[in-house]
Amino acid sequence: MTATRDAEYVPPERGDVVTVPSQRVGVTNGLLLRFPQIHSVGDLSLLTLPGVAIVGARKATPEGRRRAAQLAQDCARAGVVVVSGLAEGIDYAAHTAAIEHGGRTIAIVGTPLDKVYPAKHGELQQDWSTR
């Protein structure tokens, strides 16, 4: 989104716009009070739960993807939210494994919420945004 579109953006019904982090996730550090808006789709209460970031190479080896999936599966079973991007490789392996095992995930994307990149992950993005 451009800066102009950001100002006009209205999130989907289940979404939200976080403008002051301390009002949403208990952030009290004054350095964090000045930051760009964060647009979200889904359940923002996940931000208050224990979470683990699982990130890595887009061109991950099969072993790397397997290990990321195993870690995400373990997190899902323990009730720990998996946080990752939505790129190919490790990110995709982590999200899909967590979701397949009943876990919750947060995807950090660098594109507008109405755009999916990479396009082949559209189904995954739709899946996590409706959970």
Give the tens place of pLDDT for each residue, 85-103: 888 899 999 999 999 999 9
Q: Is the pLDDT of residue 66 over 60?
A: yes
Between 19 and 81, name the one with better pLDDT.
81
Between 88 and 72, name the one with better pLDDT.
72
Backbone φ and ψ for 8, nearest 5 degrees, come out as -95, -10
Quick one: pLDDT band at residue 2, thresholds 50, 70, 90? very low
Quick one: pLDDT band at residue 11, thresholds 50, 70, 90? very low
Q: Looking at domain 49-131, which CATH architecture does it have?
A: 3-Layer(aba) Sandwich (3.40)
The domain segmentation of the chain, as residue ranges, is 1-42, 49-131
CB 82 within 8 A of CB 94: yes
Most confidently modeled of 9-13, 55-59, 62-66, 109-113?
Answer: 62-66
Instruction: Report the pLDDT averaged over residues 94-118.
Output: 84
**Strands 38-41 vs 105-107: parallel, antiparallel or unpaired:** unpaired
Q: CA 47, 18, 2, 31 torsion: positive or negative?
A: negative
**Strands 81-84 vs 51-53: parallel, antiparallel or unpaired:** parallel
Backbone φ and ψ for 17, nearest 5 degrees, come out as -125, 120
* Alpha carbon distance 19, 7 (integer Å): 12
- Scanning the structure block, which residue is given the tokens 């009943």? 102
Looking at residue 35, what is its pLDDT?
Answer: 59
pTM greater than the 0.75 cutoff? no
